[in-house]
Amino acid sequence: MSDPRPIGVFDSGIGGLTVVKALRDLLPNEDICYLGDTARVPYGPKSPETVQRYAMELAEMLMRKNAKVLVVACNTVSSVALPLLTKKFSVPVIGVIEPGARAALQATRNRHIGVIGTRATIRSGAYEKALRAADNNVRVSSRACPLLVPLIEEGLLDDDVTDRMIMRYLEPLLADGIDTLVLGCTHYPLLTGAIARILKRQIMLVDSAQNCAHVVEEMLDRQSLRAARLNRGELHVALTDAADNFLNVARDALQLSFGEIELRSLP
């Protein structure tokens, strides 16, 4: 039994392509439809109500592409809209928070976990809730890092200004005594190299993109939703506004290949 429908993946913009990369590596037979809301990016500074409304619109657009599962490749959306999306749609909805929290709990030794993300993600407390629900004794230190997304989108992945901002954001978390750091924004895996270089001592980095892909794989197996083994999975990318510079940054850094970008109008 196999299911030829595509996996639907959406994000506020281009950052969710880190999740697509992880899905492509793990599930090469699956077709993927990616939808990035570049007309309204970024979601990080916006209110929960606005983010929820936008998320519903994007999810509906992917359902019209006959998606068999909805992957929310955005921590901001996952942190405020997952219950709503789960309630509204009949297909499985998988976010990035739960998988990241689970992997962090497996990685930590001193039970003290750091979380970085956009202002909206950190303000929601979604990682704390997910971590504490699984382990009541875990300590969590979290920090909003609002400048990392613009720095990444400018392609400053290996740059002294970016290094300074990372250091400034992470210093209080290190002083707190974390041994594990959750990269709680789908842009951040593009900074894994820089963050690892700056954190000279041993901090485990938890990449929510990879962990999300593992949860998608488990779910497809459990519900017998895998594509046929002989299928050569295709990646289709749609955006709500013309792609800017960051699409090239992401494509190069992730070594992703996809054809022409489809431009889709918002409702």
**Which residues are near a second copy by CB under 8 A?**
38-41, 45-47, 49-50, 119, 146-147, 150-151, 153-154, 160-161, 164-165, 168, 241-242, 244-246
Q: So which residues are the catalytic ones?
A: 74, 185
What is the dihedral angle through the alpha carbons of 118, 122, 127, 132, rounded to the nearest 10 degrees?
A: 170
- Give 243 or 256: the residue with its C-beta nearer to a second copy: 243
Residue 240 DSSP code: S
- Give 92 or 146: the residue with its C-beta nearer to a second copy: 146
Q: How far is the CB of 123 from a second copy (least distance, A)?
A: 10
Q: How far is the CB of 46 from a second copy (least distance, A)?
A: 5
- Give 169 or 258: the residue with its C-beta nearer to a second copy: 169
Cis peptide before 28 (omega within 30 of 0): no
Q: How far is the CB of 240 from a second copy (least distance, A)?
A: 8
Q: How far is the CB of 101 from a second copy (least distance, A)?
A: 26
Nearest CA among 43, 67, 68, 69 for reference residue 55: 43
- Give 165 or 215: the residue with its C-beta nearer to a second copy: 165
Q: How far is the CB of 180 from a second copy (least distance, A)?
A: 26
Give the CA count within 13 Å in the CB-facing half-sphere of 254.
29
Q: Rounded to whole angstroms, how far apart are CA atoms 75 and 85?
A: 14
Q: How far is CA 180 from CA 103, 123, 141, 188, 205, in A?
A: 10, 20, 10, 15, 6
- Give 6 or 16: the residue with its C-beta nearer to a second copy: 16
Nearby residues of 239 by Cβ (< 8 Å), 6 or more positions away: 14, 35, 36, 37, 38, 39, 247, 261, 262, 263, 264
Buried b or exposed e, range 18-31, using 16+ CB within 10 angstroms: bbbbbbbeebeebb
